[in-house]
Amino acid sequence: MGLFPLMSTFSPSMRKLVVALFLIGSFCLNAQQTDSVYTNIFSSISDYRNHNEVFLGNVGLAKFNLFSPFDDNNTENRSLFPERSNSQSYTDIFYVLGTGQENYFDLIHNQKLTKDLQAKVSFFRSSSTGIYSAQAATVSNFSFDLNFNPEEKRYNFSLNFRNYKRYNDINGGVADSTFFSLLDSANANVKTTFPVQMPSAVITSPNNSELEMLDMSYSHSYNLSKTRNDSLAYFQLAQTFQYKRTKRAFNVLTNTDFFSDFNYDSVTTADSMKLEQLTHQLGVEYHKTNLQLSAGIGQNYYEYLSYSPFEVHWENYLYANLRAHKDNFSFRSDAVFITSENKYESFNVSNTARYVDTGNQIFDVMEANFNFGTNLPELYFDDYVSNHFQWSRTNNRNTIIKADFVGVNTKAKAKVTVNFESQSDAIFWDSDSQIGQTGISVFGVTLEKQFQFGKRFFFSTSLRLQDVVAKQTIEVPNVVSFSKFFFKGKIFRKQLSFDAGINLLYYSSFYSKAYNPALDKFYVQDQQKVGNYPILDVFAEFYLKNSFAFFITLTHANSGLLLDEIGKNYLATTNYPRQDRAFKFGLKWRLFD
């Protein structure tokens, strides 16, 4: 099956871009070389969404993390394929097509422009109509990185640009919990007949939200010595300029069942929020074999604007960094101390230690992290005015302690993770979607192991046990498990490797947060539990010479089954069902220069 017949759901401009990229890729293929030490990164390519993340209907809508009670809404949807290769010039193309007009396209190109100049360009776009009315969403991300880092010259620089956008229709959710009887994936019309809380939730609905994030930075340094030789040690001056902007807009027609519950005005309004940040940092770095120290000063300037308040905020800070490694041990530490209006504001110290010992019988890789600090909630949490929600409050400084340990036994294909996090005044939204602060702590243990049966059969499993202590109804599932049973083989004269099997996700029942589309945030509730429901995927993955891979999968294959026993635990979160049974096809292609 070729790629181009699969692009019928792309817009004309998107199809032109993909065609152009493939023409470029075809040219690169003519000069393709075998990367003999390149490791296969295509394992489990069908898991292009993390199993610990729950999406509300499709790729573009809001999501929350089953492992963390602190995240209210993740703005970033990408968590794919860490690239590691000894090749300095290559192109990665990743594409997924799913039922429900779901498209997922990711392109990353690394190019060595000169001996000392390296460039990286990435483009990502996903779109989906969702599983019921007025859930269409689009996510896009473009980034560009340029690095000049000569070994013998005294000057180097780094230029980084990132532009992220998310657009989605606002759908208030399902009004009637008896909708489970309609979960018949064989009937395509059912997907658009769910009762929803917004009567205006139709294709032409004016209810939507937009999120835009822009991040640009330029960093450079100048070596004070004549040569850059770590064995002789040298000092260098380093400077960074950065600009960040976050814009959020809501266009909501309020004469709907959902918003009438909040008793706000009934006019059509466009609410918005914008936060801009300018950063300047200047410091001195000391480099020597296996050691790097840096320290300096910096300033942050913020401008915050919502429907009516306008605020300006200045920060000054001192920072220090340490990087050290010797033999099998490495250590890094970062510290920052911030003042504003000539008085203490916050501080943070983060430390990471890593030890590798291939001879250790228990853990051949060990890593420990410990972070301690305070922070003031950002300006958005202090003041916000719109025609739907508004608040003006003084938030307390939040103290954060975070520690975790990871142990890996590579030979046994086993991994243990223990983590703890505590916050004294974490921000949350209460049951009325109003901001509050509360003390909250979470402790978790994750066990991962892969078993092999004979030459061809494998079973890998991840089991996480966790609990939350909080004064509010903030919960995470106490048990989360993700397992994979699969068969490995080779076909076509052993040139095409494949894995085929099933994935099974399960998490215990808990009071999930509910989603408020007018704020694009999750708020706590204690009226409805979700979870205690297995989610089964069937997949087959194929790999060709470590550079081309594709998969076919049937996600949530058990959708609509055993409704009387477990059907009413089918929700992803309050009032939002999980995506029902869907077929997906995807491919990933790495092209080397």
Percent of the chain whose predicted confidence (pLDDT) is above 70: 77
Q: Could you tell me which residues are beta bridge partners of residue 404?
A: 369, 419
Short-list 584, 413, 569, 592, CA closest to 505: 569
Q: What is the pLDDT of residue 486?
A: 94
From CA 496, how far away is CA 487, in angstroms rounded?
14
Please write the tens of the pLDDT for every residue from 421-475: 999 999 999 988 889 999 999 999 999 999 999 999 999 999 999 999 998 889 9
Which of helix, strand or coil describes residue 7?
A: helix
Strand segments, DSSP code E, in 376-524 are 383-385, 390-392, 398-409, 414-429, 435-453, 457-470, 479-491, 496-507, 514-516, 521-523
Write out the two tokens for 467.
Answer: 């609990």
Cβ atoms of residues 201 and 224 within 8 Å: no
Q: Which residue has the higher pLDDT, 561 or 487?
A: 487
Write out the two tokens for 454.
Answer: 């004979």
- The span from the first CA to the last CA of the chain, in angstroms, equals 25
How large is the average pLDDT for residues 222-238?
Answer: 80
Q: Could you tell me which residues are beta bridge partners of residue 92?
A: 108, 590
From CA 91, how far away is CA 593, in angstroms rounded?
8
**178 pLDDT more than 60:** no
Please write the tens of the pLDDT for every residue from 298-337: 999 999 988 777 899 999 999 999 999 999 999 999 999 9
Please write the tens of the pLDDT for every residue from 62-96: 888 999 998 777 666 655 444 455 557 888 899 99
User: In this structure, what are the phi and psi dihedrals at residue 83, rounded to the nearest 5 degrees?
Assistant: -85, 125
**230 pLDDT more than 60:** no
Handedness of CA 48, 534, 511, 566 (dihedral sign): positive
From CA 232, how far away is CA 199, in angstroms rounded?
72
Write out the two tokens for 490.
Answer: 């080779």
Which of helix, strand or coil describes residue 465?
A: strand
Short-list 415, 271, 429, 403, CA closest to 350: 403
From CA 340, how far away is CA 336, in angstroms rounded?
13
Which of helix, strand or coil describes residue 6?
A: helix
**184 pLDDT more than 90:** no
Whole-structure pTM value: 0.84
User: In this structure, what are the phi and psi dihedrals at residue 9, rounded to the nearest 5 degrees?
Assistant: -90, -5
**181 pLDDT more than 50:** no
Please write the tens of the pLDDT for every residue from 102-147: 889 999 999 999 989 999 999 999 888 877 667 788 999 999 999 9
Q: Could you tell me which residues are beta bridge partners of residue 313?
A: 302
